[in-house]
Amino acid sequence: MQSKELYNKILESNKKWVAEQTKKEPDFFTQIADGQHPEYLYIGCSDSRVHANEIMGLKNGQVFVHRNIANMVINTDLNALSVINYGVEYLNVKYIIVCGHYNCGGVKAAMENLDYGILNPWLRCIRDVYRLHQDELDAIEDKNKRYRRFVEVNTYEQCLNVLKTAEVQKSYYETGYPRVVGWIYDLHDGSLIDLEIDMEKELSKIRKIYDLTKGKRK
């Protein structure tokens, strides 16, 4: 189908979806419009093949979502940090999930020694992850296996970046939430793999350098 024809069908499809949804759950839109109380904040890649609600089997209103290239949590990115702040302080999410995925174009680009123009500063943050895990990654001879492992360690590092934020540290020590978890989505079979990050252990290491729970500087 031509892309213009496909585009023209979008609004028609929306009407069909509204009708079906209302038939299934007559209060659906009234309830949704009332407010959101999601328990999960999902930070994932912008990749068109990876959709938070779909892969988690959750409905509208159940997951607060932030997406960017290669699911990064960069400490000067006001967008990601605002989402985390709002999710923790106002929505009181119980879990923050950082979800990477195999075959990630952003991670692949970071593995190539090429000048990507405006993308360079973003890719540099991913390349910095490679440098942190260089010994392990360089030792993997098979390029595809190295690529997969790079996706995993990148997701792990972004979980640590979430743990470095003041609101996450404060909320966790006051309430036991949010818990921060790292997942990898496998595009080949649709499965989610839990990286089983030991949050307590990581936090205790992180707090030696990034502890922000002792109050503001006076």
Name the residues annotated as catalytic.
45, 47, 49, 101, 104
Q: What is the dihedral of CA 20, 24, 25, 26, to 10 degrees?
A: 70
Q: Side chain identity at 165, as an amino acid letter? A: T
Joined tokens for residue 50: 């990876």
Q: Which is nearer to Zn ion, 106 or 178 (CB)?
A: 106
Q: Smallest distance, Å, CB 104 to Zn ion? A: 3
Q: Which is nearer to Zn ion, 87 or 106 (CB)?
A: 106
CA distance 204 to 202: 5
Residues lying near Zn ion in the complex (CB under 5 A): 45, 47, 104, 106
Q: Smallest distance, Å, CB 4 to Zn ion? A: 28
List of E strands, the chain? 40-45, 63-68, 95-101, 179-186, 191-194
Joined tokens for residue 51: 């959709």
Inter-axis angle of helices 143-163 and 166-175, nearest 10: 70
Q: Which is nearer to Zn ion, 158 or 165 (CB)?
A: 158
Q: Smallest distance, Å, CB 51 to Zn ion? A: 12
